[in-house]
Amino acid sequence: MCNECGCDTISHAEMHRSGQSHHHTPERIAIERNVLEDNNREAMYNRGFCSASKWLLLNIVSSPGSGKTTVLENTIARLRDKTAMLVIEGDQQTDNDAQRIARTGTEAIQINTGNGCHLNAAMIRPLLEKSNLPTRSIILIENVGNLVCPALFDLGEAERIVVLSVTEGDDKPLKYPYIFANATACLINKTDLLPYVPCDINAMKDNILHINPNLRIFETSALLGTGMETWCDYLLSTLQNL
């Protein structure tokens, strides 16, 4: 680059020194491209890959500590005799969650995003391509615990599930609307703690449905197993209808 005017010409400084002059013509190049287009294309590939394989791909999102991993453990325990499963764990650091899932006997692959705040579709693609799951299997992606960033990044999932625990407060859907707007189902988890926390579960449901009137809501306590049968029945019927 020329140090005097910043343009691209090689040896331009020499041209300036030798008395040559020049002028620049501004040129506008229209692009009109969605910034997330590359991710969306990878997501479409993942969606097509799973659809052709008849795999149910679920993207499970929530804030940290809502009970996602416990939901997965309980779901696996109930469904492992009925379908093959794979879990993809997304966390900034550690493989603690993958170890927890591995103890259930189901394969778990850990993705550490380092400083990244979300998973993207390109991270999922090679794991799908390597997998040798049979048809009509369930792949559960536990996204990085974060109610903001994962909302924007399509992974190619058939369903996006938000896990919201009653300890987080009933106004969370209004505070973090995007994640609910793009979801297909919501698990209101830790319902066993309702007597001990100031959470109005009806107000929470109203707030969820204000953001997304089509969202399917399940009330669960993954720790005690309450409501998990209904949730697992829903997964099985969705799997059968693929």
Partner 1 sequence: MHETAIAYEIMRQVWLTCRNAGTSRATRIEIEIGKGSGIDGNLLRETLRLAYSRLLPGHNTEIDLIEIPVQAHCQDCGATFTPSTLFASCPACDNYRYEIDQGDELRLRAIWIEQSDYTE
Residues forming the site for partner 1 (CB under 8 A)? 1, 3, 6-9, 15, 20-36, 38-39, 116-118, 120, 146, 148-149, 151-153, 174, 177-178, 181, 209-211, 213
- Cβ proximity to partner 1: between 129 and 206 the closer is 206
Q: State in angstroms the smallest separation of the CB of 27 from partner 1.
A: 5
Nearer to partner 1, 102 or 149 (CB): 149
- The smaller minimum CB distance to partner 1, of residues 1 and 197, is found at 1
How deeply is 205 buried, as exposed, middle or buried, from its count of CB atoms within 10 A (0-12, 13-18, 19+)? Answer: middle
Separation CA 31–CA 35 (nearest Å)? 10
- Choice between 28 and 130, CB closer to partner 1: 28
Residue listed under structure tokens 């109610």: 147
Helices 228-240, 68-79: crossing angle, 10 deg rounding? 70
User: 114 or 198, CB closer to partner 1?
Assistant: 114
Distance of CA 226 to the CA centre of its chain: 25
Least CB distance from residue 138 to partner 1, whole Å?
A: 27
For the CB of residue 182, give the shortest distance to partner 1 in the complex, in Å: 9
Residue number with CB closer to partner 1 (174 or 224): 174
Instruction: Kindly state the smallest distance separating residue 35's Cβ from partner 1, in Å.
Output: 5
Helical axes 121-130 vs 37-53, angle rounded to 10°: 30
Q: Which positions ≥6 away from 55 have C-beta within 8 Å?
A: 128, 133, 135, 136, 137, 138, 139, 242
DSSP state, 134?
P
Alpha-carbon span 219 to 163, nearest angstrom:
10
Least distance from partner 1 to the Cβ atom of residue 29, Å: 5
**Least Cβ distance, residue 60 to partner 1 (angstroms):** 18
Positive or negative, the Cα torsion across 93, 149, 205, 158? negative
